[in-house]
Each structure stands twice: as C-alpha cells, then as structure tokens.
Amino acid sequence: MQLIDFIDACNIGTKNDTDVFVLFCYYLMKENGSVSFSAKKMLHMYGDIGLAAPDAAVLKKDAALCGSFRPFGIEGTLRFTKDAMRSLEKSYGHLWTGVAAPKAAAVSASVTVRIADFVDAHGMTSRTDTENLELLCYYVTKEKRGKPFHIRSVLDMYDNAELDVSDRAALEKYAKKHPSFRTTGLDGSMEFVPTAFARLDALHGKMWMDADERPKGSTPDGCEIIDMNRFGGKRDGFDKLIAQINSSYRNEEFDSCALVMRRLLEAALISSFRAAGADGDIKSDGRYIELADLVRKAVGTDAMADIANDLIAVSVIGDYSGKGEMYTFGANDINSVRIAYRNVLDALI
C-alpha cells in the first residue's frame, strides 16, 4: 500500500504530529516488518505527504509520553506496546485486507514441492545465508498457501535442506529488518510484502504449477538430482553424465537415470583412486574391477570413513540383479538415495 493512500484513509487532517508519527510507525510495521522506530530518522515521512516536519527532540518526547510506545535498546528507539498494536490493528488493519501475499495462480491443496528439489533447482548450496533466507521464506509461504510464517521455523528448515547457517542469531535479526517481509501479528509472525512475493513468484512459482499438472508421484520440471553449478566442471566427461542424469529424471525416464547414476559413481570412484595414486589397487589383469569391488575397497579406506554408509546405500542404484528381470525403476527409487548420492559425490569429486 502506498503511504499517501494509507494517510488519506486515516483522515490525516484531524491529527496532530504525534498521532501522525504513530501512524507512520504502524505503516512501516505493516509494510516492511519494522519493529522499532526513531523519531529523528522518520522526519522525512512528513515531507513525503506535504507536512512540515516537527522538531525531532519534541516529537520523541511526545511520542514516548503518548502511551503507544515503550523504549527499546540503548539507542533510544521506540516499540509499540501490545495494547497500542491491538488498537491500531482494530482501527486500521482492515486496510491491508486483500493485499496479503498473492499467488500467481491457484494450485490444488495437495500440491507440494519437496524441499530437496527446491534447494537443488535453485543452487542454494552455493548461495549466501541471506539469499537462502528469502528463498526459504518463499518456499514456506508457497507450501502453506500464503499463511504467515515464523522466522525461527524458517531457520529450522536450514537443517532439513542441508544448508549451513554461520550465525543463526544474526540471521534472525537480519530477517526482522528485511524489506521483503512485514510483521502480521502479536505473535511475531511475518508475511511477504506483496510486491516482493510477486517478484519471487514470477521467478520460482513455475515449480508449483508444473507439480499441479503432473501425475501423482512424478517430479516437477526444473528439478535436478545433481546441481550442475556445484558439481560441474570438476572432472573431464562428468558434465555430460550429470546432464543426462538430470534430463532423464525430469523426463521421468527413471531406468535411464539410475543407470547413468551408476556409471557416474563408478567413474568418480576410479577417478578418486587415480588421484590418490592407487590406480593399481583397483585393477585386475589390467582392467578395472567391478563396481561392487570398487565400493568394498573404498569403504575400507580412511578417506571414505565418513561416507561409508552413504556409499554402500548408493552403490546398488542401477543394479537390477536383485530386483527381478521385469523390475523398472520409479521416482521413489531415485529419491530415496539422492541425498546420500550427493554426499558421496561431494567426497569423490
């Protein structure tokens, strides 16, 4: 909502400087999630609507005595009291009705996008904490169908998404001042500023629309088993295999996907032994040993100790010998090992 529209709706001509300041603070809280306010820093807003700015010291004193605020922090900023927030919400909260975060288009209530797919599709493992914060808040908003979110719950998702957070407290503080978010309730819940959500939805909303159109159990377009930004360009010939894996997965060609995943795993193991100068340990009669034997040798090395279980788990991908001659791979076969597979590639390449 534009400031001038908000002020017009509040009948500004009948209010004194302190009342106007209260309204400015409420507007900022609703629009961008601000929770503390400085009289001096907000004087420009009077000019924005054609009013003469009052004296900063007088305004601060009058605001502190009006009963709507409590002092906050050593810098002397002000925060709303709970009673003041309730009163303002009752009087003016309806102005934001209908301007909550919009959706690009309706999708069925059952449609969901897996967090692992979202992380992979957006290369979030190579992004900064703050970049991932906005993306995860967007993900939560889409999954909750536009309902408000709590920043701490979003931060908990970093673990589920296998993303590292260098300073959780600092990131939480940053989130409360982020221009894309605004506070929605007394419990500290937040939502996107509509324009910010629309920007993100235009870029990323296709994943939910595609998921809505596909048969149950399939995977949305744009999802990757292996993030090319993360793993590409590290070994000769590996990029083509990675591209084939991602392409076959997106096209639901899961048998092809499993076989190329097996081929890439074998190539990555051989490359790892070569790099360690142990090429002779994995050859028999001048030829490289089978994948199962490669895995056994790798598991027995100190370098693979941390991922031994993951390596064993992914070594059966693409192996039909124990599944019966008529068995065909499905999405669940791939999805069940994709995180372990990524961990193994991390260690090998």
What pLDDT sits at residue 33?
67
The residue among 5, 1, 16 whose CA lies nearest residue 51 is: 16
Check if the beta carbon of residue 20 is closer than 8 Å to that of residue 82: no
Structure-token match 């909550």, residue found: 100
Structure-token match 């054609």, residue found: 50
Check if the beta carbon of residue 48 is closer than 8 Å to that of residue 7: no
What pLDDT sits at residue 264?
92
**Report field, pTM of the whole predicted structure over 0.75:** no
Cβ atoms within 10 Å of 242's Cβ, excluding its own: 25
The tokens for 116 are 């692992």
| Surface-to-core class of residue 274, CB atoms within 10 Å of its CB (0-12 exposed, 13-18 middle, 19+ buried) | exposed
Long-range contact set of residues 218-224: C-beta below 8 Å, sequence gap at least 24: 218/252, 218/331, 219/117, 219/249, 219/250, 219/252, 219/331, 220/113, 220/117, 221/250, 222/121, 222/250, 223/117, 223/120, 223/121, 223/249, 223/250, 224/120, 224/121, 224/249, 224/250
The residue among 273, 269, 268, 246 whose CA lies nearest residue 257 is: 246
Q: What are the C-alpha distances in Å from 87 to residues 20, 61, 82, 83? A: 15, 21, 9, 6
Question: Splitting the chain (349 residues) into consecutive groups of 10 residues, what average pLDDT does each group show?
Answer: 76 84 86 76 77 86 88 73 86 69 46 76 85 90 84 80 81 87 80 86 80 47 70 80 88 86 91 85 86 86 81 82 64 80 85
The residue among 331, 140, 101 whose CA lies nearest residue 220 is: 331
Check if the beta carbon of residue 33 is closer than 8 Å to that of residue 178: yes
Sign of CA dihedral 294, 295, 299, 305: positive
The residue among 116, 78, 97, 104 whose CA lies nearest residue 191 is: 97
* Parallel/antiparallel/unpaired status of strands 77-80 and 287-288: unpaired
Cα–Cα distance measured from residue 310 to residue 283, given in angstroms and rounded to the nearest whole number: 24
What pLDDT sits at residue 296?
87
